[in-house]
Structure 1
Amino acid sequence: MDTAHTAHTPESAGAAAHLADQALSHLYAAALRAAAELHLADHLAAGPRSAGELARLTGADASSLRRLLRLLASREIFHEDDDGAFGLTPAAEFLRTDAAGSLHAAILLFTDESLIRSFAGLGETLRTGRPAFPAVFGSPFFEHLATDPALREVFDSGMAAFSDPVDDLVADDYPFPERGTVVDVGGGRGGLLRNVLLRHPGLSGVLFDQEPALREHLLHAVEPADRWRAEAGDFFTSVPDGGDVYILKHVLHDWSDEACVRILRSCRRGLAPRGKVLVVDAVLPPGNEPHPGKALDVAMMTLVDGRERGPAELDALFSQADLRRTRVLPTRTFASVVEAVAR
């Protein structure tokens, strides 16, 4: 059959339009970043405004701004009313810097030039099997963070915002013990550990990460202060001993299988009798169903040596670290809690 001269059907025309729209997706991300940089959602918190009003408030060109808002409104981020004024949608509410669960900092991270340039190197990653980030910036991602304080701040703030919904749900839904010590390994600013300790007053906690990530930790909200401590160190070498629960939230997906086994072995060595290791990450489902973890997996491929994993892949890591999976608890976000115990 000669498909070159096959007449377009309504179905094929729709499929072609969908493909072309997908190829322009980077424009939607750029528009979203511009909206975050201009704080448009903050300016709309009190109600709809015209593009002209927003332009005067932000110093933008009114015509250009209207065209950007129109594009975002087509994706249900902002809404244009019959009078030509733009207002917030449920999604746009999360662009407000003062909103509970604000994703403003996360959007600035996900659309940062350092990530976009790495994503553009996906073809090189496919050819070599290695992340594009070091080829673009001259050093691996986490080494580069250590030398770029501005990017480190964007990363820490963005990851804290990205993690906030996960922190709440894990702290609420996982059956933590009434007594014992929770060690948040690679916990960044400690949002999850803070929420766990606030909800479970019989627990104490250790926030364990590299020193730069601990500088603006969130544990001061937990009283009394002797229930927690922040400790700097290298989880490849060791973690604080005696934990009843070790949490690895958004940690394993950053690293190769070999590196993950080293981290898990550190937790296994420190684990108290009958203790548990919790891996909080996207757990990839089989098949073709959409899942945020599938996009994150490709992002990890271009930035670092990590990946998002399915249950069988996690089981292989646990086995090498003398652990075994006991259950997977989905949350109402993209992440699941994977529980493991000593074998």
Structure 2
Amino acid sequence: MSFPHTPTLVELATEILRSATALQEELDKQNLPQPSFHPSGRRNYHDILFNPAALAARQNLIEASQTINRLATGGIDVLRGITNTDRTGVNVLRTLYDLDIPAAVPLDGSISIPDLAAKVGAHPIPLRRILRFAYTMRLFQEPLDQPDYVAHTPFSAEIPAYGPYLWLQLGSLTKLELAACHFTWAVKNWPACPLSKADPKGRDLWAILHEDDSEGKGMARFADGMKAAMQCMHGPNNRHFVVSFDWAGLGEGLVVDVGGGNGHNIVPVAQEFPKLSFVVQELAKNEGPFKELMGKVGLGEDRVRFQVHDFFKGQPEVEGVVKAYVLSRVLHDWDDKKCVEIMKPLLPGLKGGAKLLVVERVLPSRPGDIPVHQEAPLRAMDLLMYASLQGGCERSRDDFERLFHEVDAGLEIRGLRVLPGSEFFAIEVSL
């Protein structure tokens, strides 16, 4: 047997110094803030998404740092960390979110723990213990000159922006964290998904969102969660979607966003490419959020229209010449059979010359094909899809090629590129 080369501690430390120096120099070159735990410090790296040198330095720094940490920690302590520290961290984050601690702590100041406890309706003794653990995660901190006071770090200040996705992942309604407790049962009961064991009624995430939200906002909150996840990764303007495909090359015509939620993906594209008009096809529950968003960004029906549509019920007629169909983060929700059902009705348009533009994660074909710190979140999402949805999964390029050929033997991948600083790939498909 042969295994990948393991760098020495000194080799890794050298790479850390080289990459850290390169990243620091790139940030200085652009007059961008350096990372810091100060409350006003850097919250994210959206401002370097289109700087290849800075992105590469950051990725190399993360990979070398995580590798040397694992090697220096050792096997048994890594297992202890996963079992105790990591698991506790998830529950502490949920508590901070549920109690709305980030909003109760001033962004530009501090608050005493007793005052904070009174503000959020908690007891100060357990809250203090929870916060002291949160400090080790760099979520909030105690000012040096104010014992028993709480202030933000740049990381805790980001929690509200990520909140809709935290609701989806950690909330009691969706039961997703509980689903992960049933992997052992599920691998023995394939193709049942773990969530069907966690839910008393044996349902998956879609059924729970449709049936159990007493306010009738389950799907709207799901769309908000997807929007928050993408914006926290790529920035609030969804610039990644603009550069994902050659939109200008489509010329003048119509883009149909199939299963497009509230339309947040195509807003920056519509703003930048005035020759294109758009139809967002979604279930009726998303029409209200769609209209609200379009009102905010000032896009009228002459540019973006909403069409009530269930993508398992064929493709309805649309007014205009369709230049492209978009499926953004749709296919990973479904097994191959369902994906074929979604794409088959698009074939008449594709045979007329339209393109299929797919945005999805693309798994490496083999472990080690990409850096571990990049592969880990992809594998985590694959397991999340497995845990929550019957047949949900992430796919490799080979998987996508087989899937597209099931739709039509002539359907081929014409282009595949990772979006800047992202887990997602832009896949261009045509006949």
Query: Could you tell me the TM-score, scaled by structure 1's length?
Result: 0.87
1:153 and 1:168 map into 2 onto residues whose CA distance is 19
**Are residues 227 and 170 of structure 1, via their aligned partners in 2, closer, same or farther at CA, if it must alter by over 3 Å?**
same
Residue aligned with 1:191, SS: coil
2:154 and 2:229 map into 1 onto residues whose CA distance is 17
Q: Match of 2:302? A: 226
State the Cα deviation string for residues 144-191 of structure 1 (Å, max 9, x = none): 322223444442332232233457133331221342211111111111
Shift of 1:15: 2.1
* Percent of residue pairs bearing the same amino acid type: 25
Query: Could you tell me the TM-score, scaled by structure 2's length?
Result: 0.70
Residue aligned with 1:277, SS: strand
Instruction: Please point out which of 155, 164, 170 is paired with 1:111.
Output: 170
Shift of 1:316: 0.8
> AA paired with 1:70?
R
The reply to whether residue 281 of structure 1 matches residue 360 of structure 2 is: yes
The reply to whether residue 236 of structure 1 matches residue 312 of structure 2 is: yes
Q: CA RMSD in A?
A: 2.4
Instruction: Please point out which of 58, 62, 74 is paired with 2:120.
Output: 58
Shift of 1:230: 0.8
Q: Match of 2:378? A: 293
Residue aligned with 1:302, SS: helix
Q: Match of 1:176? A: 247
Poorly superposed stretches of 4+, deviation over 6 Å: none
Contact map agreement 1:183 1:207 (CA 8 A) in 2:
yes
Where structure 2 has 5 or more consecutive residues not aligned to the other structure, the ranges are 1-70
Q: Match of 2:229? A: 162
State the Cα deviation string for residues 265-318 of structure 1 (Å, max 9, x = none): 223333374322122121112324133121011011111111011111111111
> AA paired with 1:110?
Q
**Are residues 66 and 216 of structure 1, via their aligned partners in 2, closer, same or farther at CA, if it must alter by over 3 Å?**
same
Instruction: Please point out which of 378, 401, 413 is paired with 1:315.
Output: 401
1:95 and 1:63 map into 2 onto residues whose CA distance is 23
The reply to whether residue 211 of structure 1 matches residue 275 of structure 2 is: no
> AA paired with 2:383?
V
Residue aligned with 1:246, SS: strand
> AA paired with 2:367?
G
2:354 and 2:95 map into 1 onto residues whose CA distance is 46
Q: Match of 2:65? A: none
**Are residues 272 and 243 of structure 1, via their aligned partners in 2, closer, same or farther at CA, if it must alter by over 3 Å?**
farther
| Number of equivalences | 328
The reply to whether residue 335 of structure 1 matches residue 424 of structure 2 is: yes
Instruction: Please point out which of 194, 197, 202 is paired with 2:270.
Output: 197
The reply to whether residue 139 of structure 1 matches residue 193 of structure 2 is: no
Where structure 1 has 5 or more consecutive residues not aligned to the other structure, the ranges are 1-10, 97-101
1:13 and 1:157 map into 2 onto residues whose CA distance is 38
Residue aligned with 2:347, SS: helix
> AA paired with 1:325?
I
